Amino acid sequence: MIRDYLLEEKLPLFWCAGCGNGIVLQALLRNIDRRGFTRENTVITTGIGCWGKADDYVTTNSFHGTHGRALPFSTGIKLANPSLNVFTLMGDGDGITIGGNHLIHAARRNVDLVAIMVNNLNYGMTGGQYSGTTPKHAITKTSPYGHVENGFDVCRVVQAAGAPFVARGTVFDVVQLDKLISKAIDHKGFSFVEVISPCPTHFGRSNKLGDAPKMMQWIKDNTVSREKAANMSAEELRGKFVTGIFEEREQEDYGTAYQKVIDRLRGEAAE
């Protein structure tokens, strides 16, 4: 039962009404429970931000790190004890804005862990400033006249950096999200899942997208599958969230490659 992994005395959740973080946490804990992972052999690592509060609610081992540095901490944890199931939870501010450099190197390095980045298109916890994923022309606390930069397509960045598993889902389609997280867990190597989630308190309000149910409808109306997107023009795809699996291939992970070096050196030393 997923309740076995929840610190119920910490409830209700810290997140605003209508935030999708609870949906993502539930999907993650369902997958952990299905696999019979124990509290002892599972580590959830977070940085700073709304999604970074997720570790407050779990009974597994957890590590709450500094802003943008969740992946380096996860890397150290996994390499120190490869038997652990390591999950890194980041927001778009934490994961691609402040922590963008760590994200691309974690993808390149291919450490065997699961990274789940909840993208609500702004810095939700600190008041609604723009982040690296905020769409062009969007209104935020730090772009009151419209954002002049293009936002990252995070999945394309991570894919280009070399990650062997890259996917995007939304909190509207929970069935798909559950399957994507499941595939990420089962894939050996650095597995990245981006989750599009509403921030009705800041982004939704600033851009007149309505309350939480209307933002959910907005996400639904602007989501297209990879298969459908393949037949759409760049103009038709503007402002859309393309979901599905972008990369799924086998590649030797960092821990395995590093252990081969250790074994070879030990063999040479014994000769």
pLDDT, one tens digit per residue, over 113-148 is: 999 999 999 999 999 999 999 999 999 999 999 999
Looking at the chain, the whole-number percentage of residues with pLDDT higher than 70 is 100
Which of 231-256 are b and which e, b meaning 16 or more Cβ less than 10 Å from the residue's Cβ? Answer: eeeeeeeeeebbbbbbbeeebebbbe
CATH number at residue 114: 3.40.50.970
Q: Is the dihedral of CA 202, 192, 214, 238 positive or negative?
A: positive
Number of structural domains in the chain: 1
Q: What is the CA radius of gyration of the chain?
A: 19
pLDDT at 1: 81
Residue 47 domain boundaries: 2-270
Predicted structure pTM score: 0.96
Predicted confidence (pLDDT) per residue in 80-126, tens digit: 999 999 999 999 999 999 999 999 999 999 999 999 999 999 999 99
Closest CA to 71 of 163, 206, 147, 197: 163
